[in-house]
Each structure stands twice: as structure tokens, then as C-alpha cells.
Amino acid sequence: MPLDPVDLTAALVRCPSVTPEEGGALRLLEETLAAAGFDCTRVDRNGTPNLFARWGARNARRVFGFNGHTDVVPVGDPTDWTHPPFSAHREEGWLYGRGATDMKSGVAAFVAAAVDLVAEAPPEGAIVITVTGDEEGPGRDGTIAILDWMAETGERMDVCIVGEPTCPEVIGDMIKIGRRGSMTAQFEVTGKQGHSAYLHKALNPMPAVALLAHRLSTHVLDEGTSHFDPSTVSVTTIDTGNTASNVIPARTRMTVNLRFNDLHSGASLTDWLRAEADRVATETGTRIAMTAQVSGEAFLTPPGALSALVSAADEAETGRRPVLSTTGGTSDARFVRAHCPVVEFGLVGHRMHEVDERVREQDIHDLKAIYRRILADYFAG
């Protein structure tokens, strides 16, 4: 009997898997996949829950992979929800609950598609499913840990779909073939505290941080590329903590976030930020310390066989030809791309992380059908 992806989504939503809690979600998937003949291995690292599952031989000629996550963001105030956030309430064709959109429905759809295919038309090849419980968190011991384990044990994927919600309006309207890079930098500007009436005895760090903020936020990094929007720099906070109006503070802190295309790297942008900070420090006489963290480099899977495969299956099932895009934030595709060609394709994402997060049940069925066709066409080819 075919595996119902909506029922599986509901069962996953009932698992309270707020990062870093596993909540029973990976145990449920392991039981489901093992019953269908998948070899399952937990690849937990440093307390982070992860699951690897393979159907078919390790040395198969062709290996198709899916990647996703079952951890979810916090629910906020549960009383703001129309229905309890982990109740998986179903009403008028909608399924409600935290993770219903991002991305337990996507995981349920590709698991159901894979389980049905191996039961009804076993392919000549292998299917690998990787699911982490730490995509919404730091991400250091999630998909990265699975990929590290795969490299150590000789497991592989030849191509991979990350099942994140990618469609802005209706299912099938967009495939992500890459993502901008993301990094955050913190600056601490130090001057000399003093009385605001005696400027000559103090060194105010506030004009320096304002100057640095202006130069960074108004600088044009690039005009974009054929597949990417222009890179951006956003000042996200300036914190001084000064509660006295007649005191010049000793120091202030600023944070900026950058989203960048493939014209740049985290290293090149770090060098640029340090140079700008040093320049302002020299001009103002302050001291500016900087730290930077790169959460992901820009990457692109050029339009080709994988995007064509997904596009054709999508169009066959929905009648829509999807747009190939690199918009949005980051996902675990930034890690998978170092292992094999990867694209992201999933449900409509505009309700993710919201109060009353919900997904159309029919969309889940449609996504399963698209994934099933992708698998069939891949192994047929």
C-alpha cells in the first residue's frame, strides 16, 4: 500500500523536535525506512541527531540522494496559535503545526516517494536519504557530520535534492540552483570615556562607528551576476549601553551581515572589512577590533542535467516550468555542494516559521508525485 505523505507529515509534526531536541522524529523515519528495506545508521555527533539511510548496494552505478531536516524553530507563545503547535491539526485541506512547511512535509514527501518506488519498481541503483536534526541550529554537527561519515565509510551520492521549501507562490514554480554566501562581522570601537561637556578630555567612539556603518552600508560590492543578485551589506545592530546623556562612552559595538554572490569569498570580504575598519580607526584615533564568521560560501550548480531532470518532472506533474533561482537565505545545500551536484526543490515556503505554520495537504501529495517521477526518470536514464 502506498505510503501517505500527509499522514507521515502529521506524525512528524507531532514530534516536538525543536533544535536541538530529536523529539522522536528521526526514530519514526528510521522505523519507516527500515521497514521498507533501507539500511539505516544513526550518525549522531556531539549530541546532534542525524540519520543516514540507503536502499541498494553501496557500490551501485547510480546513487540518488535526498537531504532534509526534522528540527524546527521555537513556537514562540503557544497561546498565539489557533491550534496547539504540535497537534498536527487538519482542517479544510490544511495541516497545521510547527515544521509543517519547514520542512517535515518535504521530508515526508521524499521518504514516501522513495519507499513506494523501491516497493513497486525497484531501481537499478541506490537511493540515499540523509536527515539531520540541526539545520535550524548551529549546523556544525548536522549535515556536515553525515557527509564526514559518508567520506570515512565510502558512502556517496551522485546527485542530491535538498527538500527545503523553495516555491514563492505555488508548488512547482521555483528550483534553487545555488545560494548566496552569508557572513556576519562584529566590530568593537574603543575610545575614551569622559564628560560630554569636556570633549577634549575624551574620545567618543560613536562618530567612528557611525562613519564605519555609513561606509560599509553605502559601498557597492557589485552589480550582480547572471545567476545572482547584487551582494549586500546590512548594519543589523549598534549597541553602546550608555544610559547617561552626559557621559561619552568608552566603547560601542556594531554587527553587520553580508549576503554575497560568487564574485566574492568569505576571506576576501573579511579582508575588505578589516581594511575599512583600520581606515576609520586611523582617521578617528579610535581602536577597532573585528571578528567575522562565515556561515556559508556562495555556490552555484550550473543549469544542466540535474536541474533539467527536476524541471521536466515538475512540469509533467504540475504543468509549470520552474524558474531557476539563487534567492533566499542559506540551507544545508551549501554543505552538500562539496560532495555532489545539488539543487533545492520543495513546497511553498511563505508560511514557514510563522505562528499557525501550515501547508496544503494537496501540495504534499503533489510534491511526492514530483519526487517519484524524478526518481523514476533518473534511474530510467
For residue 314, the model assigns a pLDDT of 98
Q: To which residue does cell 521518504 refer?
A: 111
Question: Is 71 marked active-site?
Answer: yes
- Is pLDDT above 90 for 59? yes
- Select from 132, 106, 148 the least CA-distant residue to 365: 106
Segment 264-300, tens digit of pLDDT = 999 999 999 999 999 999 999 999 999 999 988 999 9
Q: Which residue has the cell 551520492?
A: 157
Q: Is the separation of the CB atoms in 174 and 109 below 8 Å? A: no
Output the pTM of the full model: 0.90
> What are the residues whose beta carbons fall under 8 Å from the beta carbon of 45, sequence distance 6 or more?
141, 145
DSSP 238-265: EE-----TTEE-SEEEEEEEEEE-TT--
DSSP 8-state secondary structure symbol assigned to residue 163? -
Biggest alpha carbon distance in the chain?
Answer: 83
**Domain limits, the chain:** 5-179+298-380, 181-296
Q: How confident is the model at residue 330 (pLDDT cuts 50, 70, 90)?
A: confident
Q: What are phi and psi of 45, to 5 degrees?
A: -145, 130
Residue 104 CA neighbour count, 13 Å, CB half? 39
Mean pLDDT of 172-199: 96
As a whole number, mean pLDDT of residues 79-86 equals: 97
The pLDDT of residue 351 = 87
- pLDDT at residue 138, rounded to an integer: 86
Residue-level pLDDT at 361: 98
Which band of pLDDT confidence, cut at 50, 70 and 90, is reported for residue 185? very high
Closest CA relative to residue 47, chosen from 20, 73, 16 = 20
21-42 per-position pLDDT tens digit: 999 999 999 999 999 999 999 9
pLDDT of residue 328: 86
User: Which one from 22, 102, 116, 135 is the annotated catalytic residue?
Assistant: 135
What pLDDT score does 266 carry?
97
CA distances from 24 to 44, 54, 72, 86, 367 (A): 14, 20, 13, 12, 24
Which residue in the list 22, 30, 71, 344 is annotated as catalytic?
71
How would residue 1 be classed by pLDDT, with cut points 50, 70 and 90?
Answer: confident
Separation of alpha carbons 284 and 55, rounded Å = 63
Question: Using H for helix, E for strand and C for coil, what is the string for 52-63?
Answer: EEEECCCCCCCE
Q: Where are the alpha helices (DSSP H) in 83-236?
A: 104-120, 143-153, 205-218
Which pLDDT value is given to residue 381? 83
Would you tell me which CATH number, out of the four given (3.40.630.10, 1.10.760.10, 3.30.565.10, 3.10.20.30), belongs to the domain 5-179+298-380?
3.40.630.10
SS3 203: strand
> Helices 104-120 & 5-13, crossing angle to 10 degrees?
140
Q: Which three cell numbers stand for residue 179?
A: 545560494
The pLDDT score that the predictor gives to residue 350 is: 81
pLDDT in tens, 223-261: 999 999 999 999 999 999 999 999 999 999 999 999 999
Mean pLDDT of the chain: 96
What is the grid cell recorded at 8? Answer: 507521515
CATH 3.90.550.10 for domain 181-296, yes or no, is no
Name every residue whose Cβ is closer than 8 Å to that of residue 363 and which is 6 or more positions away in sequence.
105, 171, 347, 348
